[in-house]
């Protein structure tokens, strides 16, 4: 049995914040604003898994009003989502994710992102695809006001 989930996550870019995407801290003049580390890529992936399981959304499981999640690494949140997925008898078939950001270039960081995501999801790196695109100076992405990440996941029923 297969289940598909998809999600998007948007975070504002601001001076004086860390830029963390895919569990990788990236040197840049701006970073993402949020209650946790604001890793939009991992948030989209985690919520896609939660959606595939029919378990609501990320905010239901990790509310931004809960102080225990203040500044938390989104890799830890993704690991918690993996535990939920496995407790429901599923495993990752594959993940396809997209980061929309004007700058900086993501290509040098994608291999480590894939490694981090695969480790957190208990799957092989070749089951995780991450790609990036620019806003071509259009919209909030192009004006460097924020980042949009999208993810689609395929879950497979784990063999008993």
Per the annotation, where are the binding residues for a divalent metal cation? 9, 11, 43
Sequence ranges of the binding site: 9-11, 35-36, 43, 57-59, 62-66, 101-107, 140, 143
* Per-residue three-class SS string for the chain: CEEEEEEEEEEEEEECCCEEECCEEECCCEEECCCCCCCHHHHHHHHHHHHHCCCCCHHHHCCCCCHHHCCCCHHHHHHHHHHHHHHCCEEEEEEEEEEECCCCCCHHHHHHHHHHHHHHHCCCHHHEEEEEECCCCCHHHHCCCEEEEEEEEEEEECCC
**Residues whose CB falls within 8 Å of the CB of residue 72, separated by 6 or more in sequence, listed in order:** 36, 37
């Amino acid at each position: 049995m297969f289940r598909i989930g998809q999600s998007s996550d948007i975070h504002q870019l601001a001076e004086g914040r860390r830029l963390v995407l895919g569990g990788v801290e990236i040197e840049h003049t701006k970073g993402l604003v949020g209650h946790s580390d604001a890793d939009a890529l991992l948030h989209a992936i985690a919520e896609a898994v939660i959606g595939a399981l029919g378990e609501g959304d990320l905010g239901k499981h990790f509310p931004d009003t809960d102080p225990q999640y203040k500044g938390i690494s989104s890799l830890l949140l993704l690991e918690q989502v993996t535990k939920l997925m496995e407790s429901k008898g599923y495993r990752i078939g594959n993940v396809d994710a997209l980061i929309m950001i004007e700058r900086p270039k993501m290509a040098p960081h994608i291999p480590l992102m894939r490694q981090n995501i695969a480790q957190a999801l208990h799957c092989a790196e070749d089951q995780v695809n991450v790609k990036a695109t620019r806003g071509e100076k259009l919209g909030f992405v192009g004006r460097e006001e924020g980042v949009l990440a999208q993810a689609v996941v395929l879950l497979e029923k784990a063999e008993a």
